Amino acid sequence: MTFMPVMSKIVSMDEAAARIQDGAVVTVSSSSGLGCPDRILQAIGERFDREGHPRNLTTLHPIAAGDMYGIKGVDHIAKDGLLSTIIAGSYPSGPSSLPMPEIWRMLVENRVAAYNVPSGILFDMHRDVAARRPGVLTKVGLDTFVDPIREGCAMNDAAAEKPIVARMDLAGETWLHFPNIVPDVAIIRATTADERGNLTYEHEGAYLGGLEQAIAVRNHGGLVIAQVKRVTASGSLRPHDVRVPGHLVDLVVVDPHQRQTTETDYDPAISGEIMRPWSSFTLAEHGVEKVVARRAAMELKSGQAANLGFGISAMVPRVLLEAGQEQAVTWAIEQGATGGMPLTGFAFGCASNADAFMPSPQQFTYFQGGGFDVSFLSFLEIDLEGNVNVSKLGKKPYLTAGCGGFVDITANAKKIVFSGLFEAGAELELTEESLTVKTPGKFTKMVDTVEHVTFSGRRARELGQEVLYVTERCVIELTDTGLIATEVMPGIDPSRDIVDASKGRVRLANNLAEMPKALLGRGPMELSL
């Protein structure tokens, strides 16, 4: 009997980059620094610098590729002539003290057609392309910037000229329709590949959507490139560990130095290989933001499943940890980690001591259908309608990443708790007895009309969603008559610091209650869930 030899799929970065054709649609699996196939993106950019090819690429990014802190990601290919269109759930973001990423420079200068599509919808687009269905039909994004009655996902004039979403009436209801965009190339990342291209993710902090992206490309005869940390012999991987089977993978490139996250080479607790003692996690630093997170945490009940977003909201699990309630609720984040302790900073999107890692597309199905109990998110602006903006800042656009999964998460959530500071740049004095405004802020975050509608207050009222906005000064409820402050922080002058500071946009409830002084203490706060 004669056995056919195993044909290795392992190639160099340059060889893989050379296979990408002009005009290709390229889908990239990444979440900022987490799971980013950075080295192959670099090779594509270097090939373009040498040869002038590939040209006129369209790239799809369900979550951002790269960040501003050391993993360039999409910035490797943000070059005139190379990149013509980018459709992304989020973009690299960071503080104004850092240089603007090149992808943002191309965007604001109208040198690339740029779109911001909710992450869950982008994953749905891949699944519908793979199954040859007629595009995504969804109510996610109605009455937000995603809706063609507003921006239709376009981030600049070049994108507005080429719409990618339309309104559609079906059975007497209004839907958003995203026609299929068929990817020619998928660039995904894993930890280990065998010689047949089977992929395992044992050092990764999330699976993301690599499998769905690979299937979408394979079902249309395209090219799937996997970047990995190491290669093993064919047949040496446990079948239960393989997340992307080898028949879906054409080429494997090796970067032995790929990082888990931007600031993490490798931490086995992030990939779920070990469990950390709960005592090893740091507590939230005492300050105004922790006070806000504490009040937000009071909206939880034991046994709930809760979603968590970036910003002040990311401190809520640490509040529970301090109160000895670290396992009282199950956290679910869009990158896929479920349970455990969600991490902050550069490791946001990961969790230590997780119960499970869900693939992102399935996690978003859970979110879009409103299966969880409550979501904790942040805000940049709130307007008279209760609309929230987290996705656009005209003066400093790269301070925000775009919408990410925010629109998917809020579409059908039963309860949403937004957290943020009432004003920007106010001087606040915090004691164990009170919080006072020493100097008013530069501007209020309560505005007539938000710059970008990432969350629709009008639609929330139509759906009967419970919506709270928690600030350091008050708790605000969204009602049919507008924004009503129902609780006030000890030390805050309601008329001056809330009504006048918001120029009357926030009104006071007749039965205005005082927030608990326990929120202000330096020691652990007792939290009964």
278-520 shares the fold of 13-254: yes
Q: What is the pLDDT of residues 294-316, one digit of tens each?
A: 999 999 999 999 999 988 999 99
Given a contact cutoff of 8 angstroms between Cβ atoms, the answer to whether 13 and 45 are in contact is no
Q: What is the 3-state secondary structure (H, E, C) of 324-336?
A: CCCCCCEEECCCC
On the question of a cis peptide bond just before residue 99, with omega within 30 degrees of 0, the verdict is no
Query: What digits encode the pLDDT tens for the residues 240-265?
Result: 999 999 999 999 999 999 999 988 99
- Name 371's Cβ contacts closer than 8 Å, sequence gap at least 6: 305
Rounded to an integer, what distance in angstroms lies between the CA atom of residue 279 and that of residue 259? 26
Q: pLDDT-derived band of residue 3, with 50, 70 and 90 as boundaries?
A: very low
Helical H segments across 63-209, by residue range: 102-108, 119-130, 157-160
pLDDT over 60 (residue 138): yes
Q: What CATH code is assigned to 278-520? A: 3.40.1080.10
Asked if residues 520 and 291 have their Cβ atoms less than 8 Å apart, the reply is: yes
pLDDT tens for 149-171 read 999 999 999 999 999 999 999 99
State how far the Cα of 294 lies from the Cα of 306, in Å rounded to an integer: 15
- Helix-then-strand count for the chain, H and E: 11, 33
DSSP letter at 296 equals: H
Q: What is the pLDDT of residues 453-512, one digit of tens each?
A: 999 999 999 999 999 999 999 999 999 999 999 999 999 999 999 999 999 999 999 999
pLDDT band at 2 (very low <50, low <70, confident <90, very high): very low
Contact 474, 382 (CB under 8 A): no
Asked if residue 101 lies in contact with residue 108, where contact means CB atoms within 8 angstroms, the answer is no
Backbone angles phi, psi at 142, to 5 degrees: -55, 135
pLDDT of 7 strictly over 70: no
Q: Which CATH number fits domain 13-254: 3.30.365.10, 3.30.390.50, 3.40.1080.10, 2.40.170.20?
A: 3.40.1080.10
State the helix-helix crossing angle for 360-368 and 119-130, rounded to 10 degrees.
110
Sign of CA dihedral 195, 197, 198, 200: positive
Residue-averaged pLDDT of the chain: 96
Encode pLDDT of 28-74 as tens digits.
Answer: 999 999 999 999 999 999 999 999 999 999 999 999 999 988 899 99
Please tell me the predicted confidence (pLDDT) of residue 348: 85
Question: d(Cα 129, Cα 275) in Å, to the nearest integer?
Answer: 38
Residue spans per domain, the chain: 13-254, 278-520
Question: What is the DSSP track for 205-217?
Answer: S--TTHHHHHHHH
If phi over 0 gives left and psi between -120 and 50 gives alpha, with beta otherwise, what is residue 299?
alpha
Q: Show the tokens assigned to 273.
A: 């290989």
pLDDT at 4 over 60: no
Residues annotated as part of the active site: 334
Q: If you average pLDDT over residues 424-453, what whole number do you get?
A: 96
Kindly tell me the burial class for residue 178, based on how many C-beta atoms sit within 10 Å of its own C-beta (0-12, 13-18, 19 or more): buried
What is the distance between the alpha carbons of residues 217 and 233, in angstroms, rounded to a whole number?
A: 26
